[in-house]
Amino acid sequence: MRIFSYNVNGIRAAISKGFLQWLETTSPDVICLQEIKATQDQIPLMEIEMLGYHHYWFPAKKKGYSGVAILSKQVPDNVVYGMNHSEYDDEGRFLRADFGELSIVSVYHPSGTSGEERQDFKMEWLDFFRCYVNELRKTRPNLVISGDYNICHEAIDIHDPIRNAKSSGFLPEERQWFTDFLNDGFTDSFRELVKEPNHYSWWSYRANAKQNNKGWRIDYHILTDNLNERLQNVGILPEVNFSDHCPIIVELNY
């Protein structure tokens, strides 16, 4: 099973740049999208269906903001929209699809870059998310939680850890949260197989950051530890340029 995740920073903009042609060529079994920034009536659903995908959308209530989606070649047994928490669900941040015993989540963690209020919101979300997922795994023990976490976990995951030590997305409390979350029994699938530096999934549009590979790895496929033995391959596709993020891949023997 090939699972992709991609923060498209606006699905309509990505489609205008060739996203659907790329999707047809790469043909993942499942792709989790974040920051769709659109409602279903604004998306060419028939074109997606013609590529062989079933599609599930969870937009934010605010127009042109946030939102997640899951496209899959197989029909899920069950789809759950949100986490039953209106403040977070209004922002369209969590969508789950169940395929037999396997559950795949598309998640978009808040950013705290706009100021203290949103940083506080982010930290509250992280605590709720951690509790929610740990409760969820009691009934859905095989989880792939894919998406934009808006956190670089380790110094190896960011191009300049010293200058960014006080930046949202690399704050000590965010990194500690990530460590604690993984210690609950989760695996960063990419780092399970790839130990080398200079692998990033997001680059600023400023100062030729991508051309100079001055990026951040903030997109993850997080697995429950019991799936580690099924982990076959991982990847990051920086050559794909429909967004300021790029797609990430995990392959499971499932």
* Tens-binned pLDDT, residue by residue, of the chain (254 aa): 999 999 999 999 999 999 999 999 999 999 999 999 999 999 999 999 999 999 999 999 999 999 999 999 999 999 999 999 999 999 999 999 999 999 999 999 999 998 999 999 999 999 999 999 999 999 999 999 999 999 999 999 999 999 999 999 999 999 999 999 999 999 999 999 999 999 999 999 998 999 999 999 999 999 999 999 999 999 999 999 999 999 999 999 98
3-class secondary structure per residue, 14-70: HHHCCHHHHHHHHCCCEEEEECCCCCHHHCCHHHHHHCCCEEEEECCCCCCCCCEEE
β-pair partners for 56:
70
pLDDT at 106: 99
CATH architecture of 2-252: 4-Layer Sandwich (3.60)
117 CB-contact burial (10 Å; exposed 0-12 / middle 13-18 / buried 19+): exposed
148 is catalytic: yes
254 CB-contact burial (10 Å; exposed 0-12 / middle 13-18 / buried 19+): middle
Say how far apart CA 26 and CA 22 lie, in whole Å. Answer: 6
Q: What are phi and psi of 10, to 5 degrees?
A: 105, 100
User: Model pTM?
Assistant: 0.98
Q: Residue with structure tokens 């919101």?
A: 121
Task: Count Cα neighbours of 113 within 13 Å in the Cβ-side half-sphere.
Answer: 9
| DSSP state for residue 170 in the 8-state scheme | S
**List 29, 148, 157, 188, catalytic entry:** 148
Say how far apart CA 98 and CA 79 lie, in whole Å. Answer: 6
3-state class of 186 per DSSP? strand
pLDDT at 254: 87
Break the chain into its structural domains and give their ranges. Answer: 2-252
